[in-house]
Structure 1
């Protein structure tokens, strides 16, 4: 994998509750310079696509808890697409999953995927799940037509682990996200089967490529 291919697997991320447009500009500038994607809050997507038209813009839906009504998730995904987002990362309702209400989860994921003609990644919050529930979440995402499953929001307990990525990769391409702070950690996730990395340390990760033999 050359540096360009490596950088294109990084979603350079800014999603904190105090994120400003200046923060988003900084992430977009870094993404453009290094060939990364940018993952930003939905309220800034329209501005971002005008400011950096050559950057792949990823945004989130029902973030970070996933407990919005299904129709609200569908509408939020549609709004993101209409604003110019290239990809949407939607949070699965973990409470419903724990209750065993798989039909409700299947329905809402199918609605979101059907609502937009762009890739949908399903955030399953793997650190909160047993292996059995993690497999169920991945099965539901796969059946709904999702493009990826994503490990975590980074706003609950824990983040990406090799073990979770290995399991998730049995179902769909994986975006490993949560606690990936450097090049070595990113490579570990890619070697475990991840296709994409979500991290606020995108610049450090990509620059680490130059100092290491991949």
Structure 2
């Protein structure tokens, strides 16, 4: 039994030894553009920071630069579609105004606050957003899942094309357009709902 426990400890230590962390310097930005199969977490905070965590080969593949107020995160070898569970990118900034994501990873935007958020997402992964903004503009394509039901908004303008699923939360007004086989679910009991469905998709309210 002791040998098994020791083997397990050594195995975990070996795995952790390969999970490096690289802190990269960044100039201020209000937008994020990420492309590739990555696990991304964005947190609201007082300072700007960027951490790339995981296998050294993954860290080397991640390119990052700030251009015109937008943090751009890309992968050097876009043909590689798999990542290890420990490979991830963590970004912190005071306020996020625009987000563009494309890929097959899991992307989380946590505790966002602001006047308006513009989101463009295309892929086969999962995007989850929580927090509170007055206005959300969301454009989604693909077979993935976009979960923004925990992002409380007054107004949401949503366009979805694909076979995945999208959920939003609007208190006052919702403009919803669905093309294809996808499903859009909305929360918040908005006073005004304008919806358009082309295909066999749906726009459904949840009390």
Q: What TM-score bracket applies, with the shorter chain setting the length?
A: under 0.3
State TM-score, norm by structure 2. 0.28
Which one has a bigger Cα radius of gyration? 2
Q: Which protein is richer in strand relative to its size?
A: 2
Higher RCO (CA 8 Å, separation ≥ 6 residues): 1
State TM-score, norm by structure 1. 0.27
